[in-house]
Structure 1
Amino acid sequence: MSLANNPTLNSASIFGLVGGKSPFQPTLTSAPASLAVQVAATSGGLSYSASALVFSAAYLNFPATQTLTVINNGPLAVGFTNVQIVGANASDFSLQASCPAPPGLPVGQTCVIGIGFAPSAGGVRNATLLVETNGVNSPQSFALSGTGLPHVGSSVTLSPSSLTFTLAGVPQAVTVTNNSAKPIALGSISTTLGSETNNCGAMLAAQSICTIEVETLSLGISFDNVGTNTGTLTVTDTGNPGVETLPVNVPYGSVNFTPLPINFGGMPLGVTSMANASNVASGSSYYGPAPPFSGSITGPNASDFGVGFFGNSYETTAYVTFTPTGLGARTATLVTNYGNIPLSGNGVTDSASFSITPVAPVSSQVGVSLPVPVTIQNTGSTVLYLRLATGSGDFVLPGTLASSPLVLVPAQSQSFNISFNPVGLGLRSATLTATDTGSGVSHSIPLTGTGDAIDPSITPITFTFSSTEVGVLSAAQTMTVSTPSGGPVSIQFSNDGYNNDFPLNPGTCATQTPCQISVSFKPSKTGSDYADYLVTDLVTAQTTLFTVYGSGGVGSVSLSSSSLTFAARDIGTTSISQTVTLTNTGDATLTISGETFSGANVGDFPIEGNTCGSSLAGGANCTLTISFDPTASGTRSAILQIMTNAASSPDNIQLMGTAN
């Protein structure tokens, strides 16, 4: 018990616990040497779902993905300090998802490491996945392999050779032609500007065509109505060369216009909805007026919808209403001189009816909540008790609506925010469903968002160095850089045209984060200075900018007097002392290396007091107190020299006196 309660006891202390009258006596006559045992707790043990990943053969530019599942079997949490891909063809493999950095993966939990494969050349492609943790049996390596298939057949062509849009919401067709005598596989079809739909499928037969329809989602404005917003339509396939591109152009004009679809939801037959608005706005007045916003409604149920245009030459709003004349889905299109706006609604019997405004796609960083506004209107003739649900962890209802019904009287509308808090990267989707508990009438709208990678974290995000002498290296300040993946980051100086007076040590976090970076300041000129550094997460390509500031200066000496003259006095007597004030009129610390005397009678002028020390801050002052103690008759003189790092050094004080 004594040992348990006193773990620092040594052998001699324990030996002495046995009293002379104890019935149990040690056979040794003296205490043995102390025995030291180091006890180290092991970290958690991990198991992996595979020892290697083999990808199916893939055509060049046709990406494939596999996952490696990791389980923490305990007894402690394990942090992943470095996950990277190395080897001969490492660039053909990419890290799609990783496991958490320290404190890491809790006991009993799993995480997934995602690996992508996109061969850049034909034949077998090999690399190695390296996983380093703060647990036991680290590092672990996993062989990655796949085969790149060369492209076959002749080229695929796109027609026309480019697209130019002057109307939003009006699709233009692109024909994809397989000129080969063999069928080809089609991969991704995407556009960086607007949106696309297609009927191409996974394969395109020999000497066959398919169609892509591209439309721009908005028109933009510029200061001078010139210039073009450009994008690219890209088609990947197994033909040669395998990637076809087509320019997509939207010239800037005099208006901003985004033709979002207008959905009125359910409305009783013959009942007119509240007006739903779509805006066209030109820029500020000095741009000049825009062509008037005008148009008409066409389509299968055009007579169910009405439109009115209100505004001026600088901003016009189209107000659309819906009055269903039949049951079920009702559709039409508002065709305007700036593009088309899809219109839709449902004709319902005169009972429970409501509409939900469409929600535009949103984006937010993973783990960062973004409010998404939603409005629901009671378009029927009865009171509604709506139960709401999203069925997704990415889109969260406010607390009251998650547990209690939304009550709406006829014609009443209610707006609220759904929180978009993405739990993963990429496209996130859900469905908002509202159901009336009395009638069972239900409506749904899609919710879509994008989870963006989190920017690197830097603490602190900025530094300010005090005024530092030009050419002198300051003491370092330290920052901590971390990333969600725990992967490496690069740090680049980003001040174009400026000297970098703020060196980093080390200059990067090349293997893992979190890591610490020291920043120093060595000014090359006087005055204020700064440097911007761009920190890039090498796993997600997200960036963060941090800035350091400083001021370069020099010390400068100013003396309250450059000479002291003492009154005549007898040999061997001491005068009343006189004082000279030294002021640092510079903006950097003045270094004082000492005071020396020169001249004929250096021993006659003792320094009685000195407050100057070895350094003096910018704007500060100190004093030197000197007396006269002549050792011989006649005129006595000397020079007091003050040695500093100022350009004027040494600074002299002439000392004069007469002895009787």
Structure 2
Amino acid sequence: MKTRGLRAVLAASFLFLASLLPTRALAQIIDVSPPSLSFPDTVVGQTSAPQTVTVENLDTNVLSITSVTMVAGTEFAVLNDLCTGANLNQNQTCTFDVEFAPIVTGTFADDVSIVSNDPSSPTLVPVDGDGVQPEVTLTPTSLSFGNQLVGTTSATQSVTVENTGTSDLTVTLVDLAVGTEYAIANEDCTTLSPIAPGNTCTIDVEFSPTTTGLLTDDLEITSDAPSSVDIVPLDGTGIQPATQVTPGSLNFGSLAVGNSSVPQTVTVENIGTATLNIGTLTVGTSNYTLTNDTCSNAAVLVGNDCTVDVVFNPTVAGPLPDTLNIPSDAPTTPDTVTLNGTGLNGPVASASPATLNFGNQQVGTTSTTLVAQLTNTGNQPLGITGAPTVVGSTDFAVVN
């Protein structure tokens, strides 16, 4: 009994003394290099180059690695993992890679979690990176050219393309959807690409309408921005004058040479969509003259008109056709008016025969009657104002 009691006392004493000794901490047996990863700016939708992490066993005990995973796992990923399931002896290593693939812009951070038999497991490797992308901002967002005369070219209007994103912008194509009424006069967006964040380029557009009416198109800017193709709507109106000449012809009938007709009026109306600019009105011969001319060298506003009077004054007999020419900037130029009139000679009295020869006649007797015929060979009526008489002799007499 005494021996048992002594042993119990000694055992209790030993345990008490052991409790007073300092406790030895468990040693860390895992080493990670590098301890953290920072990725360069990576364009959204693209994947960075992988970065490698090396894991080493620093202890004499075997290091058993259970898993290597991302804590969040949305923007970063583990690949080429040679560590999961590895049992590393002292100074042995394994590796795994991490890549960064941002799906939106911004700064991102995550941790690689390495679960092992290390006393401090899980071991965390912080990772971070910025997701960047270009962004296109257009100023202005549309171009309106207003009214432009058909067949002419407008002044250029400019669109500024600014990279308001966080990475370089590459413009690959600047084009027009249709390209018949509009043209790209100049652009430096493709030549300046890549365009750094905050920088700009310029596109100059001009309007050359080939027809009247509202004409539209789209300026298309293709780039590596998320929008891919940015569009600037274009609009403008093609305008031009149009003439309506009334009447289309004038007929003056017949008029004696040397006389002048009553004036007849021609009206020129602008029925188009632009001011009508008229040149000098002309006729081809001197048989017609223009008076009260308000059209020559006039600018006739839309919906307005001008007039000119035409007078027929024949210089010779016969049909005398002519044309009134009306030059302008209308597409129908020159407009024409057909002129017709006939010149007439005056009446012409012609006697036949020209002389009457009575021969010898005995004094106191009366000869046989000789007849003279008077004919109007002109083309106007001959007015006879009195009976024929013999002038200069009493030996002759008119009997009928």
On whether the aligned pair clears a TM of 0.5, the verdict is no
Q: When you count strand as a share of all residues, which structure comes out higher? A: 1
TM-score (norm 2): 0.42
Q: TM-score, normalised by structure 1?
A: 0.28
- Identify the structure with bigger relative contact order (alpha carbons < 8 Å, sequence gap 6+): 2
